[in-house]
Amino acid sequence: MFKSLTAFASDQLAALEARRQRRRLASTDRHDSIHVRRGGRALVSFCCNDYLNLSAHGAVKAAAAVAIERFGAGAGASRLVTGDHPLLGELERALATFKDTEDAVVFGSGYLANLGIIPAVMGSGDLILVDELSHACILGGARLSGAQELRFHHNDMAHLETLLDQHRSSVRHALIVTDGVFSMDGDLAALPQIIELAQKFDAWVMTDDAHGLGTIGGGVGCSNAFTAPLQPELQMGTLSKALGSYGGYLCASQAVCELVRNRARTFVYSTGLPPASAAAALAALEIVRSDVALCAKPTAQAARFCEALGLPAPQSPIVPLVLGDEQSALHASAALEDAGFLVTAIRPPTVPAGTARLRFTFTAAHTDAEIDRLAGEVAKLHLSVAAE
Ligand SMILES: *Cc1c(COP(=O)(O)O)cnc(C)c1O
């Protein structure tokens, strides 16, 4: 029987509603990087990814404003046509220097970067091994590549080794991909062990450092968060979180970056990053480079919160409180909002079924007093934390 698309969409929305998975936009006015206004209420946000509060930093805003004045609001075309503003090349060189790689490529966003990079280097006859808790855009990029995709249990090196052992010899190239800092759990990938396995099985490694740049490893990210600096072949990340701007990047060898500039469809067929976004990211990167203490602050604030609640010490500024069902997470989030705190409930499909949670992200600008008050309010909820 004929069903209109609108009727189909309404049915789908009703089904999401029944599962408590329907989501709605909530217009939010962020007038600085942690104080927001939503529904007429002033709230302290513990759910922005603006870890160093650089989206509201004077030097970062000024750099963007000057670039808009001088170069306009948009790039005008894709990079390979006329959208390659000199600021983008300058940003690429600064990122490569900071990450100690030969070269870097800037994309329109982190999501676009992952959708472009993975299919540019992997294809049919290849194997991609992805940590099961990796970000959706890694899985999207893997799917677009046409390579065989297998997921290993979260940070489970024995499982990764078993999969490599079983499948490596029957494929051409193998790539292991993982979040550096897991976005919904805040833990770090076991990168030294992953690189060791990659060497043993002749595989390449790609890290997604969206939450690591500016926050761990002295601000350099997951490659510098262990005893010795590590060099995965592909190090992607975003300009949209700790750098407070917008855009994505890849740091890699010069040949790999050139191949990506030629083959990544989200680079070739999409308009270049606006010069103002690049200018803001450049100014922010300069702050990250020169202020290691600032980069350590968000995780220190997360640690203060965890200590107050008797939670394990955090490895990053992200702290999950896994409550299990959607309803508990929504209730807890609403109760914290009543107390003046914005902490979103994270629900499936963003996280696995049965692991709905509160996810707290801490920034350099949260005061000790704000954190102590938040911890007090969370304690008052008497939440029972589910095993993940
Ligand atoms: C946010 C995020 C992205 C996407 O980056 P955008 O610049 O926001 O598109 C990619 N990977 C991870 C792990 C993320 O958390």
Q: Which of 241, 297, 316, 328 is catalytic?
A: 241
Radius of gyration from C-alpha coordinates of the chain? 21
Active site residue 183: yes
Sheet containing 103-107: order of strands: 103-107, 248-252, 234-238, 204-208, 174-179, 127-131, 148-152
In this prediction, residue 21 carries a pLDDT of 85
Helices of type H across 291-381: 292-309, 326-338, 368-380
Active site residue 270: no
Whole-Å CA distances, 198 to 129, 158, 164, 371, 386: 11, 13, 9, 40, 34
Q: Report d(CA 55, CA 33) in Å as an integer.
A: 7
Residue 337, classified by CB atoms within 10 Å of its CB into exposed (0-12), middle (13-18) or buried (19+), is: middle
Q: Report d(CA 20, CA 142) in Å as an integer.
A: 29
Active site residue 241: yes
Question: pTM above the 0.85 mark?
Answer: yes
Half-sphere exposure of residue 24: CA atoms within 13 angstroms, side-chain side:
5
329 touches 323 (CB < 8 A): yes
Check pocket membership of 240 for ligand 1, CB cut-off 6 A.
yes
Q: Report d(CA 90, CA 232) in Å as an integer.
A: 23
Distance 7 CA to ligand 1 centre (A): 32
Check pocket membership of 248 for ligand 1, CB cut-off 6 A.
yes
Distance 4 CA to ligand 1 centre (A): 34
In this prediction, residue 388 carries a pLDDT of 58
In this prediction, residue 387 carries a pLDDT of 58
Q: Which tokens in the block code for residue 124? A: 């049919």
Check pocket membership of 131 for ligand 1, CB cut-off 6 A.
no
Check pocket membership of 359 for ligand 1, CB cut-off 6 A.
no
119 touches 264 (CB < 8 A): yes
In this prediction, residue 89 carries a pLDDT of 97
| Tens digit of each residue's pLDDT, the chain (388 residues) | 789 999 999 999 999 999 888 999 989 998 788 999 998 899 999 999 999 999 999 999 999 999 999 999 999 999 999 999 999 999 999 999 999 999 999 999 999 999 999 999 999 999 999 999 999 999 999 999 999 999 999 999 999 999 999 999 999 999 999 999 999 999 999 999 999 999 999 999 999 999 999 999 999 999 999 999 999 999 999 999 999 999 999 999 999 999 999 999 999 999 999 999 999 999 999 999 999 999 999 999 999 999 999 999 999 999 999 999 999 999 999 999 999 999 999 999 899 999 999 999 999 999 999 999 999 999 999 887 775 5
Q: Which tokens in the block code for residue 190? A: 């076991």
- Which is the closest atom of ligand 1 to the Cα of 135? 13
Q: Which tokens in the block code for residue 29? A: 């006015």
Q: Which tokens in the block code for residue 354? A: 């049965």
Residue 283, classified by CB atoms within 10 Å of its CB into exposed (0-12), middle (13-18) or buried (19+), is: buried
